[in-house]
Copies of this chain bind each other. A is one copy, B any other.
C-alpha cells in the first residue's frame, strides 16, 4: 500500500510528521509494508511552483492508495482579498479532481477531556456525532465573480439531485450502523438548494425505514449543537453549513486539535485534521498532533479496512490522555508542566 503524505502549510508540517510516524510504527507492529511518498500543496506549493496544486502532486495523488493531509492557508492571502492565486484553490481543486464528495467528521469526546471544553461536562458526557459534509458542491464550486464595474460580487450555490442523493445514502447507511437516527440540516425556509436537498432526503427515507429522519434548519442546529449535543447522532449537510457546524462542534470534543476527518469518493481517500494551518502557533512545537494521529487511524480503517490497527491508535491516544499528557489546547489547570506535550515529543 502506497501512502502519499501532503503536509501543506503552517502546523500542517508539524502534525503530519507525527501522523506519519504513527503509521510507520503501526506498520512495524502489525507487520504491514506501507510505502510513502510526499508532495507539495498550498502556500508552499505556490512558493515553489506558482501553483497551489501542482500537476505533479495531483498525479501522485491519483496513484496513491490513501493520502495523509495536513492543512493549507497563509495569512498573507487572507489579508489580500484581491489575490489571484491562493492556497485554498489547491484544496478545493483536489477535492473536485479526486471526486471527494463525502467528508466524514466524527466528533467524539475522549472521557479524559470532559473538563477541557467550554461546555459543561454534564451536557457533553457521552456526545458522539458523525457529520457527513458534502464536499464538492454548493457555493464553494458554483460560478463566482464580479460585475457592475467590480462593484458587485456574486457566488452561485448549486446542487443537483444526484449530488444530494449520493451523500444522503452514505449518511443513511452510516446511521444504520449507529443509533439509527439521521438529522439533515438545511435552510429550506429560504434557499432553493436546501429545498431540493430536503426533497431528496425525504425521497430516500422510505428506502431506509429503520432510520428515523429529522430535518433541522441550520440556525437552529447551530444552537442545539451547544445546548444539547447528545440529541445528534449522524448529521448530513451541505458543504458550507458543514464547514461552519463542524468547526463549532469541535468544542464538543474539547478542541479542534482532536478532530480528524476523512474525505472519500470515487477513488483514493484523503485524511486530515479539521484544524487549519494556524500560523499563529506554527513553529512553536505546541500544535496538538492528535488530529493528525487520529486521521491516520481513520485512513487505516476506511481506506485499508485495518480496523484492529485503527483501534490500536485510538487506544494509544486514550492511554496518552489517561496518563495525563496534554498539549496546551486541551490542558486543564491540573496538567503538570512535565506532561505538556510538544508536537515533536508526541510521535
CB–CB B155/A191 < 8 A? yes
Give the number of copies in the complex. Answer: 2
CB-defined contacts of A248 to chain B, threshold 8 Å: 219, 222-223, 225-226, 248
CB–CB B88/A189 < 8 A? yes
User: Which B-chain residue is minimally distant from A146 (CB atoms)?
Assistant: B192
CB–CB A222/B223 < 8 A? no
A82 CA / B77 CA spacing, docked (Å): 41
Number of interface residues of A (CB under 8 A): 69
In the assembled complex, A301 has its CB within 8 A of some CB on chain B: no
Among A157-165, A167-175, A292-300, the stretch in contact with B = A157-165
CB–CB B227/A193 < 8 A? no
| 16 pairs from A and B in contact (CB 8 Å cutoff) | A77-B189, A78-B189, A81-B202, A139-B157, A139-B191, A144-B191, A145-B192, A148-B160, A152-B158, A152-B159, A152-B161, A153-B159, A153-B197, A156-B157, A220-B276, A222-B245
What residues make up the interface of A, taking CB atoms closer than 8 Å to B?
73, 77-79, 81-82, 86, 88, 92, 118-120, 123, 139-140, 142, 144-146, 148, 151-162, 187-199, 202, 215, 217-220, 222-223, 225-228, 240-241, 243-248, 250-251, 256, 276
6 further A-B contacts with Cβ under 8 Å, apart from A119-B119, A248-B248, are A118-B120, A119-B120, A145-B192, A152-B196, A153-B158, A157-B157
